Structure 1
Amino acid sequence: MNDSEKLQRARNRCIESLAQNMNLYGITESIGRLYGLLYFTDEPMSLDSMKDELGMSKTSMSTSVRQLQDLQMVEKVWVKGSRKDLYQCSHDWYQTFTDLFSIKWRVGISANMSAINKSISELQELLDEPKTSTQIKEEAKADLEKLKYALNYYDWLNRLVDSFESREIFNFIPKVKDTP
C-alpha cells in the first residue's frame, strides 16, 4: 500500500465514523459522508465533483448540500473565475455543534412546550368543570404537576441552548485552543 492509499484509508475511516454517528443528530449517513468529504477537502467543491466522489445523483447531492447549509455546517463560497456553485464545510466544530444543537433542540423544545401548554389548558378545563368526577379531577391534578415539572425542564433546556448560542457555555467548558 502506497502513502496516498494510506492517507485515503485514514480519511475514509474517519468519514465513515462521522457518517455513522451523525444520525445521533438526525442526519443520514450519506449526508454525514458528504460532510466528511468536505471536511477533508481543502478546496471548495462543486456538486459535480461531490457527486463523482461519492457516487450519488446530482439531485441527491443538491438536497444533501441544502440540508447541510440549513444546519450551518456547509456554506456556499464564491471563487473568482468559477461559474459553478462551490461549497465548503465549516472547520469550527465547536460552532458547528452549537449551531446544530441549537437548531435541533429549539424545534423539539417548541413542539413539546406547545403540546404541554395545550394539555394544561385542557386539564384546567376538566378541573374547572363541576360535572367532572372526583377521580378524573385527581388524575388531572397529578398530570398538571407532571406537566409543570416538564415545563420547568424545558425552561432549563432553553437556557442551556441560550448558553450555546451566546457562547457563554465556553466560560464553563473552555474550548481547546488547537484548531485546524
Structure 2
Amino acid sequence: MIPPAEAEKLVKDESSQAAAKLYPAYEQTLRAYQGVDFDDLIALPVRLFDDHPDAQERWQNKLRYLLIDEYQDTNRAQYRLLRQLAGVRGAFTAVGDDDQAIYAWRGADVENLNLLQQDYPRLKVIKLEQNYRSSNRILNAANTLIANNAKLFEKKLWSDHSMVNRSASLPPGT
C-alpha cells in the first residue's frame, strides 16, 4: 500500500533502489492493461472503505461472518481489511499457527495473531494440538524443533497414533 513516490524514500539498499525505480513503470503498465496485482486486491478495497464509509458499512452488513485461513501469513494491509470488514460486530474465525509462518518475505507478520487478541478482547483462542496424521514419535521431534522458535502461543502437539507400519502391501504380481 506504498505509492511509487513514497517507495523511493524507503530505499535501504541497491536492490530496493532498483525496485523503487521500476515501481512507477510497473504501476503504469498495470493501469494501461486495467490490471491489478495481488497487493491491489487488498489495497483497493482498503482505500475504498477509507474514502467511502458508506461502502464499508454496506459490506459489513452484507458479510455476516468471515473465515480467514493461514492467518499467520497475513500482512498489515490484510489485517486492516479484516478490521474494516469485521467492524464492531467482529464476527470472524481466524485459523493460524505461529510456528507455520512462511511469508515474511512478502510482508506477512505473525504478530497479527497478537493484534487480534488486543483488538478483539472477547476473542477465544482454541489450540489445535492433536494431530491425526503423525505418530507421537514424529510429533515429539517436531515439538523439540518448534521449542526453539520465538513463541506467541505455547503448544504441545500430540497424537493417539502409535508407530504402526502403514505401508500398503500389494498382492504378488501387481
Q: Please, what TM-score do these two structures have when normalized by structure 2?
A: 0.21
Structure number with bigger Rg: 1
The structure where helix makes up a greater share of residues is 1
